[in-house]
Each structure stands twice: as structure tokens, then as C-alpha cells.
Chain A
């Protein structure tokens, strides 16, 4: 079945790097995504990676994709207290519906 897995919690100190991991199941997913949810708010797209890429860098964010192991990671360099949030990875299912399957979310707590 379709299942996207993430660890539930990560705690880092301000200024350190954070790495959030995700495993997905649908090898035909064309795009994989990272969304950020701040308290009391909806989800916002942070970044995405196309399935034929291994890595994507966007300022402090680095996404790594290992298609063989179906493993996706998000690295946040120089983590700030404003990065404290829940981070969701998501994969898009094949077909014309554009449906996303979300992971359970990782709560990132940044300690000052």
C-alpha cells in the first residue's frame, strides 16, 4: 500500500544543521515535496525535487533523493528558531488526479 514514513521529532540547537528523513513507496512518483506547517497554520510548500534528480539546493535547504532506497531527506543549514515547525514530505501518485500522499510529519524543535 501507499505509506510515507517520517520520524516524529527532531531537536537541534540554533546554528546547527537539521536533517529530516522520509521513506516513500511509489517508485513512479514524478515529484517529491517538502512542506512546512507552522503552529495554527496550513501547509506551505518549501521545496520539491523531480524524480530524475539526486539533489536540489535552495539557499539553506538541500534535498537529497535516493531512488534505489526510496529515501528522501531535507537538510536545513544554520537552523534558526523560526525554522521550528512540522515538516511533511509528500509523494505524488501516478495518474491524472495529482493526489499527494503525506508522511506523518516531523516536529522540528530548535533550541536557542
Chain B
């Protein structure tokens, strides 16, 4: 099992450009999450999904969109990138009786 994978690992964008981050999991998990991590702020939830075809807003959804067309993939889109979206983005999926979240390795995004 590859677990949770994220592509790309690094990306530099100019203000106003768009991009899509891909998260994939091969563990057949229903729940998936996108977080951003900023210094001194821990992880903040952007959007999440409780199953294929469903998405919901988290704590900081503005400027992002998501889609969950297939159970194993959860896509995070930035339509018009802003410098405030410079961050490290983590994807996670959930399994188990005690709801362990499995994290991907992260995508480091810089918006100039």
C-alpha cells in the first residue's frame, strides 16, 4: 500500500495563476481532508469529504475548491492564487475505530 500520496511536492505560482493539488489514497477510506499548515498556527481544515461525490467546507475554505469524483482521489483547486495561500498543504484520510488520520507528505506551495 502506498498510503496517502500527494502531487506535486513543490510548486511556485504567480499571483492569479491556478492549479490543482491531487491527493490519492489506496486504503478505501471514506473520509478525506485538506489542511494547510502555517507557522505558529497548527493545521487548519480547508475542506473535507465524507464520501465519494460529497464535499464540505472546513475552517478556512475561501479561495479554494475541491472535488471528490472518485473515492480514492480528493482534489484541491486554487482558481486565482494569492500570496496569502503560500503554505504547506496536507491531505489526510481516516480509518479505524479510533478515527486515526493518515497524512500525505505535503505540498509546499509558494505564491509570488
Contacts and interface: CB of A to CB of B under 8 A. Distances in A.
Contacts of A45: 100-102
Contacts of B105: 41-42
A33 B96 CA distance: 14
Interface size bracket, A side: 20 to 34
Interface stretch (A10-18, A58-66, A70-78, A101-109): A101-109
B77 interface: no
A13 B81 CA distance: 43
How many B residues are at the interface, by size bracket?
Answer: 20 to 34
Contacts of B102: 45
A108 B37 CA distance: 18
B104 A97 contact: no
Given A50-B98, A97-B48, A97-B50, A43 B41 contact: no
Nearest to B50: A97
B11 to A, nearest CB: 16
Interface of A: 4, 8, 31, 33, 40-45, 48, 50, 88, 92, 96-100, 102-105
15 contacts: A33-B100, A42-B90, A42-B92, A43-B101, A43-B103, A45-B102, A50-B98, A88-B42, A92-B99, A96-B50, A99-B33, A99-B45, A102-B42, A104-B40, A104-B42
